[in-house]
């Protein structure tokens, strides 16, 4: 089921979500929760909100034959790149491009929009995901706006730190490695975009 969503507010995150067309009941519910956050939170990117915005991306090599995953210490698994907006940031695409470059060293990243997507939208998936508590932070949720980014220079990829290695994988290798359902859905969506 495809349905349009109505943005609240006038920031870039609201506009990006308004241009997106969710697929399926689960994603439609997640987009509804995201719109609630956008409608009431003074700063929807603030980590002090129990549900706050993040922006992330799956990175593929030009032509889409390989994808890049990063080790995420908090979750103890390989997954896509991305994260939180910095103070004053409201453009999710700018957030994900900055985060992706910081985490991979790739300076030539560009969005790959989904075919037939709404003009101006490069989001390929939206998910609200739980984040477990740790000593310095209570459990909370990320309302994650997910993109597909492409690089022409995969050989330039460098990990942000020794504890966050990067791995270029084939699609088959990635599907064998990724078991978490919402991340598998991201892989499916990205594969559909590069295959079209």
pLDDT digits (tens, 9 = 90+) for 138-150: 889 999 999 999 9
Write the DSSP symbol of residue 68.
E
Distance in angstroms (rounded) separating the CA atoms of residues 193 and 113: 8
pLDDT digits (tens, 9 = 90+) for 29-51: 999 999 988 888 888 998 888 99
pLDDT digits (tens, 9 = 90+) for 79-125: 999 999 887 888 999 999 999 999 999 999 999 988 876 556 789 99
Give domain limits for the chain: 12-195
Residue 3 has pLDDT above 70, yes or no: no
pLDDT digits (tens, 9 = 90+) for 46-85: 888 899 999 999 999 999 999 999 999 878 899 999 999 8
Q: Mean pLDDT, the chain, as a whole number?
A: 89
What's residue 90's pLDDT? 83
Distance in angstroms (rounded) separating the CA atoms of residues 145 and 14: 11
Distance in angstroms (rounded) separating the CA atoms of residues 91 and 131: 22
What's residue 14's pLDDT? 86
What's residue 1's pLDDT? 33
Spell out where 4-50 has E strands: none
Which tokens hold the place of 71?
């080790």
User: How many Cβ atoms are within 10 Å of 72's Cβ, its own excluded?
Assistant: 15
Report whether 154 contacts 61 (CB < 8 A).
yes
Distance in angstroms (rounded) separating the CA atoms of residues 47 and 52: 6
What's residue 9's pLDDT? 39
Question: What would the CATH number be for the domain defined by 12-195?
Answer: 3.90.79.10
Which tokens hold the place of 141?
């949720």
How far CA 110 is from CA of 75, 89, 113, 151, 166, in Å, comes to: 27, 19, 10, 7, 19
Q: Provide mean pLDDT across the span 132-136.
A: 85
What's residue 118's pLDDT? 59
What's residue 119's pLDDT? 56
């Amino acid at each position: 089921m495809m349905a349009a969503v109505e943005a609240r507010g006038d920031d870039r995150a609201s506009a990006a979500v308004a241009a997106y067309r969710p697929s399926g009941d689960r994603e439609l519910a997640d987009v509804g929760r995201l719109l609630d956050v956008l409608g009431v939170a003074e700063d929807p990117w603030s980590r002090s909100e129990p549900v706050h915005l993040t922006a992330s991306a799956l990175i593929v090599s030009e032509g889409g034959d390989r994808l890049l995953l990063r080790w995420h210490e908090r979750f103890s698994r390989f997954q896509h790149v991305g994260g939180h907006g910095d103070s004053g940031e409201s453009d999710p695409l700018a957030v994900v491009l900055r985060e992706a470059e910081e985490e991979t060293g790739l300076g030539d990243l560009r969005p790959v929009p989904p075919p037939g997507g709404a003009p101006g939208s490069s989001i390929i998936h939206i998910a609200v995901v739980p984040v477990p508590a740790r000593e310095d932070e209570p459990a909370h949720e990320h309302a994650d706006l997910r993109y597909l980014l492409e690089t022409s220079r995969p050989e330039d990829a460098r990990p942000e730190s020794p504890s966050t290695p990067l791995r270029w994988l084939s699609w088959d290798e990635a599907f064998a490695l990724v078991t978490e359902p919402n991340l598998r859905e991201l892989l499916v969506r990205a594969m559909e975009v590069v295959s079209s």
